[in-house]
Structure 1
């Protein structure tokens, strides 16, 4: 028996040697003390790959005829036939006198107890007897105490969630159609009426614990918890009515919602990883451009390469921020500060150019719009550094961003106190201004306004968030 047990555990589980030794102790106790002499006794484990229960030990009755005609060790116990086995494995609670169906198709009743080691379930002990409804002779509920009107039945049967009401003894006296369907899905074959809460609980809670909570929480009319059972997620709510000495349990299946939430999280993590990789690829491009810039001896080429570095850096910074968060919206202030800091580091150290900012910290934009704005601001500030202060050793650049007309529009401006330029001079329209115009009007669908004279230049962009 020991070799067979260990072989099955090795094949179907990740149980440790200590776990298997504990199961062997249980088997020895059953055999040495002739426990449950009138019953078929089994021990099942859960296959770690399929989640199905596997029989690893069987002992036929000593005093009665067995319900089985053959050895079923190694066979599968299906949930639809033996719900008590799975319930006890998943909740660590005893399941007593629940109806089941044997591997040979015979109806019976099961008592199932958890076998635990190191604070976890490792197997279940199952005691089976032939079906005898006399065991449930007390199934009749006193209808004078728990009157259920036709209106009540009509209402609760229209509710999609399972509704189960228990009396002061923990016995179920009312269940709606959704409740019956739910427990049928779990494999329950009994009429649920008069089953004890401890046989119906989907988590570790017992009737005694629920009633204790009801007693100590005097001003609480309900309690809620989330439960994972039968590979499904549930919201379970307990309602304690003043005129009701028991309680009502409402079970709502939220598996679909939970799965969608997990799918969103997985997709979000994947998107963050994509942003991270894009940022790394852009950093590689930046490194290559800087190498080319250092190697070239042509000043115009060096300047073009340095400007390209700043443009790619503005895009890379946006992807870096996106790789650190779950949401698609980005705080505009963080991106613009990064863009301005990068340009300041590459500015002419012989001139004292002060960069001021007045940016509303509550502005958040989508990733696409943030990249567009970052590129526009990069070009505007870069143009100011490059052209606005010719012949001047000091100057100021101010970047502003705020909501306009309530929150219908966002207004961004870059202003300097430089020498200005003729906005109508086509020769003054360089690549930077072409990028600004293209992104402001085509990408952001905004309005671009440029004002310039001998006192400086102010460029304003207004667009919808």
Structure 2
């Protein structure tokens, strides 16, 4: 069951309400860490519309309870629920307060709740109100052992959590304009917490936040400083900070930012804090999370450098292979023997096929190849090169998808040889059509790719030939060229598959090639 499903079934809530709940659940780990307690999202098991409830808004039926829709545990303290609360019913001790919370739209505080005889806890129920309607309930759970405050850090954390939960109850947070950027290195509560006043002055900094600024070169206490000005002074004179950074470091906008020096990279995330006044929502301060991502960015840079190096290697291999292909073409032009000329042209075609795979690899960040794009060009080229003076048309169907490079190169060579063979021997100098089809299917340990090359030529009678495994390594038979020996060898050794020559329905011949794609290399995008 998704968050949207129970809301939209009622007919009283729109997509905006369910999307807001998705934003909340996607970001409420921060609240659980600050509050140092479990958070659970609840919705009535049976919902009555506003017309049937007679209360001016829809809500739980008289005898209905509440069911858990989402649950998050804190990473800053011990959880109070060892079972996941999603799909479970709310404790009967809390249901009366939950109904009052829903309809009165007022926060409910409950002490010493014996939750289904599992543990004793303190519970706070918040109504989540949007556009004057309660859309769900949010409960905060603390174990009794967590009642003692451990110091100023815990006090500030829980006070900040109460302020954010108050905004959540009013529907003022999360804001749809907030950045939902999912880049690596987003700061968390455990990384560093800074509290700002309305002017952007530091009123509190956690020990981890102080350590972050020590790495930037500031060894004094942060409290009392205007954080935006302080950070700007710590950056090198030549460093150009993001123009949005001051808005983040003053807590004016719910955005993310990053500062980098030659030695340190720090990410920031701002959560403006607002309270309800007679003039509406008024900002009175902000929560700022910060994180040292120096090592993370260093690893990312190393990966980018390695990727660039690998792409450059593929590019140079492609250039070298194209040079070899050009040299073979020049040599073929000087050959007087038809057999020698044909052999060089075939070698040139095979080298060019491998070069196309390396060209595709040089243009991407992964070692996977968009085989549909590659083989579409190669298929038409192979048929054209093998049919001088013939009117041969080509048709390509199905989908190959992305393939690992160790599979793409031999498969491209195999298709190249089979298509050339279909034109030269299947059509036997006559006009006709060569088809290519690719289909993928799930198997127990990966996927299977089935490639079919067909022609509407003279056919092979009733013959049926299948090659797979070690049988493909047999000596070349009479009348079989080097191309077919290459095909059989690559199918067995590189594709770990099989190849079948058989009569084609409607006349002609079709060749069916089966290749195994290992689980670790299957592209899921």
Q: Deviations over 1:294-350 (max 9, x none)?
A: 222222222221111111111111112222333322111222122223224423333
C-alpha distance 190-350 of structure 1, shift in aligned 2 (>3 A): closer
- Structure 2 residues without counterparts, runs of 5 or longer: 1-150, 161-187, 233-240, 276-282, 466-475, 518-525
Q: 1:163 — aligned with what?
A: 193
Q: 1:151 — aligned with what?
A: 154
Q: Once the 2 structures are TM-superposed, how far is the Cα of residue 287 of structure 1 from its aligned partner? A: 1.7
C-alpha distance 152-441 of structure 1, shift in aligned 2 (>3 A): farther
C-alpha distance 301-167 of structure 1, shift in aligned 2 (>3 A): same
C-alpha distance 170-447 of structure 1, shift in aligned 2 (>3 A): same
Q: Once the 2 structures are TM-superposed, how far is the Cα of residue 291 of structure 1 from its aligned partner? A: 2.2
3-state SS in 2 of match to 1:201: helix
3-state SS in 1 of match to 2:315: helix
Distance, in Å, in 1 between the alignment partners of 2:249 and 2:259 is: 19
1:397 is aligned to 2:434: yes
Are the equivalent residues in 2 in contact too, given 1:164–1:174 (CA < 8 A)? yes
3-state SS in 2 of match to 1:240: strand
Alignment of 1:328-343 (within 5 A): 328-343=367-382
Normalised TM-score (structure 1): 0.60
Are the equivalent residues in 2 in contact too, given 1:172–1:196 (CA < 8 A)? yes
1:373 is aligned to 2:376: no
Are the equivalent residues in 1 in contact too, given 2:245–2:258 (CA < 8 A)? no
Q: Once the 2 structures are TM-superposed, how far is the Cα of residue 400 of structure 1 from its aligned partner? A: 0.8
Q: Once the 2 structures are TM-superposed, how far is the Cα of residue 381 of structure 1 from its aligned partner? A: 0.5
Which of these residues, 402, 407, 422, is aligned with residue 384 of structure 1? 422
Which of these residues, 238, 256, 262, is aligned with residue 270 of structure 2? 238
C-alpha distance 189-404 of structure 1, shift in aligned 2 (>3 A): closer
Q: Deviations over 1:10-42 (max 9, x none)?
A: xxxxxxxxxxxxxxxxxxxxxxxxxxxxxxxxx
1:291 is aligned to 2:330: yes
1:307 is aligned to 2:346: yes
Are the equivalent residues in 1 in contact too, given 2:195–2:203 (CA < 8 A)? yes
Are the equivalent residues in 2 in contact too, given 1:331–1:363 (CA < 8 A)? yes
C-alpha distance 322-206 of structure 1, shift in aligned 2 (>3 A): closer
Are the equivalent residues in 2 in contact too, given 1:198–1:206 (CA < 8 A)? no
1:464 is aligned to 2:516: yes
Q: Deviations over 1:249-273 (max 9, x none)?
A: 1111222222222222222221221
3-state SS in 1 of match to 2:332: helix
Q: Once the 2 structures are TM-superposed, how far is the Cα of residue 149 of structure 1 from its aligned partner? A: 4.9
Distance, in Å, in 1 between the alignment partners of 2:245 and 2:312 is: 47
- Structure 1 residues without counterparts, runs of 5 or longer: 1-147
1:225 is aligned to 2:257: yes
C-alpha distance 228-441 of structure 1, shift in aligned 2 (>3 A): same
Which of these residues, 198, 209, 222, is aligned with residue 192 of structure 1? 222
1:273 is aligned to 2:305: no
Are the equivalent residues in 1 in contact too, given 2:200–2:249 (CA < 8 A)? no
Are the equivalent residues in 1 in contact too, given 2:251–2:272 (CA < 8 A)? no
Q: Once the 2 structures are TM-superposed, how far is the Cα of residue 242 of structure 1 from its aligned partner? A: 2.6
Q: 1:418 — aligned with what?
A: 457
Are the equivalent residues in 1 in contact too, given 2:200–2:250 (CA < 8 A)? no
Which of these residues, 212, 215, 227, is aligned with residue 182 of structure 1? 212
Q: 2:86 — aligned with what?
A: none
Q: Once the 2 structures are TM-superposed, how far is the Cα of residue 181 of structure 1 from its aligned partner? A: 1.6
Q: 1:433 — aligned with what?
A: 484
Are the equivalent residues in 2 in contact too, given 1:363–1:402 (CA < 8 A)? no
3-state SS in 2 of match to 1:151: helix
Q: How many residues align?
A: 310
Are the equivalent residues in 1 in contact too, given 2:370–2:402 (CA < 8 A)? yes
C-alpha distance 234-419 of structure 1, shift in aligned 2 (>3 A): same
Alignment of 1:31-110 (within 5 A): none
Structure number with greater Rg is 1
Distance, in Å, in 2 between the alignment partners of 1:458 and 1:208 is: 67
Which of these residues, 319, 324, 329, is aligned with residue 358 of structure 2? 319
Distance, in Å, in 2 between the alignment partners of 1:271 and 1:207 is: 35
Normalised TM-score (structure 2): 0.53
Give the alignment's Cα RMSD to 1 decimal. Answer: 3.2
